[in-house]
Homo-oligomer: A and B are copies of this chain.
Amino acid sequence: MAIPGRFPASFTATVGKRPAPVQPPSNMPAAYDQLVAKLKRAHTLGTVADLLGWDEQVNLPADSADVRAGQHAVMAETQHAAATDPEIGRLLAEMETPSGALSADELVTARHARRDYDRATKLPADFVTEKAAHSSRAYHAWADAKARDDFAAYAPFLEKHLVLAHREAELLGWGARPYDYAIDRHDPGMTAAQITALFAELKRGLLPLVSAIRASAVAAQPQLFRGFPVESQRAFLREVTERLGFNYRRGRIDVSLHPFCSGTGADIRMTTRFDADNPLDSLFSSIHETGHGLYEQGLPLTQLGTALGQAVGMAIHESQSRLWENQVARGRAFWKFFEPRFRALFPAQLAAISSDALYLAVNAVEPTLIRVDADEVHYNLHILLRFELEQKLFSGALAVRDLPAAWNALCGEMLGQTPASNREGVLQDVHWSSGGFGYFPSYCLGNMVAAQLWATVRRTLPGLEEDFARGDFGRLLGWLRENIHTQGRRHDTLTLVRRVTGEELSPQPLLAYLRERYGGLYLK
């Protein structure tokens, strides 16, 4: 799919192969540099807003939410003014001429700048205001409905969000494919048709594996993990994440209710949470955020604010967090190195837990109704369910009032369990309350990309896991830096996967990986 925008076809078609003109118009570099300065200015304002968001989750005093809301509002207005600066439009128009002499990299920046500028300027101010106001109301309605387990109270807000999503797609020229627009916002270039095919193939392979594991007598024993002091947990995860390659001279990790990663590679702010009786949760959520952080730290610093210094999309971002969290840190080689260090920090707590029991706990598989609690095997089913329902909501095949019944039926079919309440069902996720449709698929696509990259890098770099067993993760990070991180947005999701792995994106590497790791543990 072509990136929407006003570039002449020749601009995108000739990327990377056009010869330099003999006489480049002398105003071109100046215009490009001016554009970059404008983009960087808007980006910098965005990083300030991000820091407000980080501080809100990590530091904000209990009663200071009002002042933070006011700060967010003024910064949003300021950011919007910077992103819609008419000078950006003028500079883009100046560059979008057949005589333009931009390099391939410069074209990447200009093409994405055009798309972002159009999206920022084509939406009427009253639409933006209406959507922001509705999102705020809908968020509170969702939180309240979830607390009271009252879907009917939330339904009108969700209905209105669907109307707004259709209207937004219409305004931006995506009226015929509103759900594709929702997907494109998170993974530029991806479509629902592509995802449908990938997910169907994944589902066919996944359900038999899930059934087999469920029938297994093997089970992890998380209840054995008790009384791990937070300070020692903190020391351990710091050592782990530093050894994976996170640069703490350009980032930090703090505590928040829900783990997240924000900031840019110039200053990454990760968070985690601690539970003395669940040390693996804190460890793996930290490694997950470290994967996001390593991606951001690997983007070219000098290009921050342009598409060359920006992550491809959510699927590739999620592939980085999942690869470090799952393929690497749930693997035997990782634990060969780190288990002695873990036991040295917690000798008494781990005394009764064998190496096999520890490794099984790291790879526990247990069905749950809650997506964020799901293990690697079940997680994808939670996403397939949401993707199917989102499509039906967008096509009108499913009315919002019928959503809980449809959710519960699909749960029974896919997870073998039915929620006893909407709180554990359709009301569990925050995403839709802010109109965040089209985001869920990225999680599962990320799992696929991670497994495909993992299969490629193991082929490409023999002995990689022997490195891990010695505590050396440098070759893996170097490979990701070269092939993914430093690429910025030069390639869209599917192109990048094809270039790096030599194959089209496919669920087969994920299925093979899951069968190998979990088959080995549960289906002996």
Q: Is the interface of A mostly helix, strand, loop or mixed?
A: helix
Check B264 against A67 for contact (C-beta < 8 Å). yes
- A236–chain B nearest beta-carbon distance, Å: 20
A479–B287 CA distance with the chains assembled, in angstroms: 53
- A331–chain B nearest beta-carbon distance, Å: 29
Check B60 against A45 for contact (C-beta < 8 Å). no
Check A70 against B55 for contact (C-beta < 8 Å). no
A59–B248 CA distance with the chains assembled, in angstroms: 12
Q: Is A252 an interface residue (CB 8 A)?
A: yes
Known contacts A61-B248, A249-B62: A67-B47 contact under CB 8 Å: yes
Check A55 against B45 for contact (C-beta < 8 Å). no
Query: Which stretch from A71-79, A135-143, A149-157, A411-419 is at the chain B interface?
Result: A71-79
Known contacts A52-B51, A267-B64: A252-B71 contact under CB 8 Å: no
A47–B70 CA distance with the chains assembled, in angstroms: 10
Residues 46 to 64 of chain A near chain B (Cβ within 8 Å): 47-48, 51-52, 55, 59-64
Q: How many copies does the complex hold?
A: 2
Interface, chain A (partner B; CB < 8 A): 41, 44-45, 47-48, 51-52, 55, 59-64, 66-68, 70-71, 74-75, 78, 247-252, 264, 266-267
Task: Find the B residue at minimum CB distance from A265.
Answer: B67
Question: A252: which B residues are within 8 A, CB to CB?
Answer: 59, 61
- Pairs of residues from A and B, 3 with the lowest C-beta to C-beta distance, nearest first: A67-B266, A64-B267, A63-B249
Question: A264: which B residues are within 8 A, CB to CB?
Answer: 67
A249–B55 CA distance with the chains assembled, in angstroms: 15
A250–B59 CA distance with the chains assembled, in angstroms: 11
Task: Find the B residue at minimum CB distance from A304.
Answer: B67
Known contacts A266-B67, A267-B68: A250-B48 contact under CB 8 Å: no
Check B71 against A47 for contact (C-beta < 8 Å). yes
Known contacts A41-B74, A67-B267: A249-B61 contact under CB 8 Å: yes
A249–B63 CA distance with the chains assembled, in angstroms: 5
A321–B73 CA distance with the chains assembled, in angstroms: 33
Check A267 against B41 for contact (C-beta < 8 Å). no
A249–B65 CA distance with the chains assembled, in angstroms: 10
Check B249 against A60 for contact (C-beta < 8 Å). no
Question: A60: which B residues are within 8 A, CB to CB?
Answer: 267
Question: A74: which B residues are within 8 A, CB to CB?
Answer: 41, 44-45, 48
- A224–chain B nearest beta-carbon distance, Å: 30
Question: A267: which B residues are within 8 A, CB to CB?
Answer: 60-61, 64, 67-68
Which of B61, B64, B68, B78 has a CB less than 8 Å from the CB of A78?
B78
